[in-house]
């Protein structure tokens, strides 16, 4: 079994790392929060004092942190990876990041094999091993890493060169955020018309409006007084980054921009 590293064992990272452990892979881990590190160490992981120590004994390192600022901290902060990564290492960024940021890493880490492999599926998918990975990077590197990704997910699709996985994840978040807004408005319309939104949801599941978001997110808001929700720090971050990336290449996304403004509490709000 290959020795692996996993940096960032939070809400998503902990169950993903645990699946690698249960598959028999020796695993070196690091996170500044001690509790999940202790739980994984009890399951057999090697707890490291910093990111650099992870690189000392692992050639394939998975990075699952919140944003680019945390990636920078892991790479260049005290005990960072940047000075320890060599041509023998493969760094797999599972976080949702700007495509241009990923391309910049390739310049900063010459000789290091890089993949961007952002995930979709949430904590439930991480726990069940049913995540979807959208991968950008060299095809041979993707093929080498795919068996490890397959332990954590049910779909691994290489989109194209480095950064293209992030483009696919951004497209995913456009669909998710707009669909959530549409579901909330549909349920609000149903409730104000004197119809049970949950019954409407069940009916919609049988037609063209059916979606994974309607199935999983719909029940969480169908009974709320105001089902139009814009209160998710993760989605707020992602849709802000997506609109910014689109603007950087001269593309205007009117509906994504509207939803972004709603998440930032700057746009029109629908009150229940």
Which residues carry out catalysis?
Answer: 169
User: What CA–CA distance (Å, rounded) separates 27 from 91?
Assistant: 14
User: What CA–CA distance (Å, rounded) separates 17 from 61?
Assistant: 11
Specify the DSSP element, H or E, that contains 202: helix 197-204
User: What CA–CA distance (Å, rounded) separates 272 from 269?
Assistant: 10
Is residue 99 within 8 Å of residue 245, measured between CB atoms? yes
Q: Residue 50, by phi and psi: left (phi above 0), alpha (psi -120 to 50) or beta?
A: beta
User: What CA–CA distance (Å, rounded) separates 239 from 229?
Assistant: 14
The tokens describing 108, both together, are 């900063």
């Amino acid at each position: 079994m290959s020795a692996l590293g996993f940096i960032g064992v939070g809400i998503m990272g902990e169950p993903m790392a645990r699946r690698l452990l249960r598959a028999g892979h020796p695993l070196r881990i690091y996170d500044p929060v001690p509790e999940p590190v202790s739980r994984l160490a009890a399951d057999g992981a090697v707890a490291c004092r910093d990111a650099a120590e992870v690189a000392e004994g692992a050639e394939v390192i998975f990075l699952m942190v919140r944003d680019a600022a945390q990636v920078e901290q892991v790479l260049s902060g005290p005990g960072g990876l940047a000075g320890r990564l060599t041509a023998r290492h493969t760094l797999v960024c599972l976080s949702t990041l700007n495509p241009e940021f990923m391309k910049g890493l390739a310049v900063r880490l010459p000789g290091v094999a890089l993949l961007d492999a952002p995930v979709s599926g949430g904590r439930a998918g991480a726990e069940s091993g049913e995540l979807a990975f959208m991968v950008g990077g060299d095809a041979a590197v993707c093929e080498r890493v795919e068996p490890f990704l397959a332990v954590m997910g049910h779909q691994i699709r290489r989109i194209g060169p480095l950064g293209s996985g992030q483009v696919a994840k951004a497209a995913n978040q456009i669909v998710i955020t707009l669909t959530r807004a549409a579901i909330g408005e549909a349920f609000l319309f149903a409730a104000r018309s004197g119809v049970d939104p949950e019954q409407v949801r069940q009916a919609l599941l049988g037609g063209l409006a059916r979606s994974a978001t309607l199935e999983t997110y719909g029940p969480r808001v169908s009974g709320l007084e105001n089902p139009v929700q814009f209160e998710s720090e993760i989605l707020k971050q992602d849709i802000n980054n997506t609109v910014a990336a689109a603007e950087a290449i001269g593309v205007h996304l009117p509906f994504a921009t509207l939803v972004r403004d709603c998440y930032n509490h700057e746009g029109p709000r629908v009150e229940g």
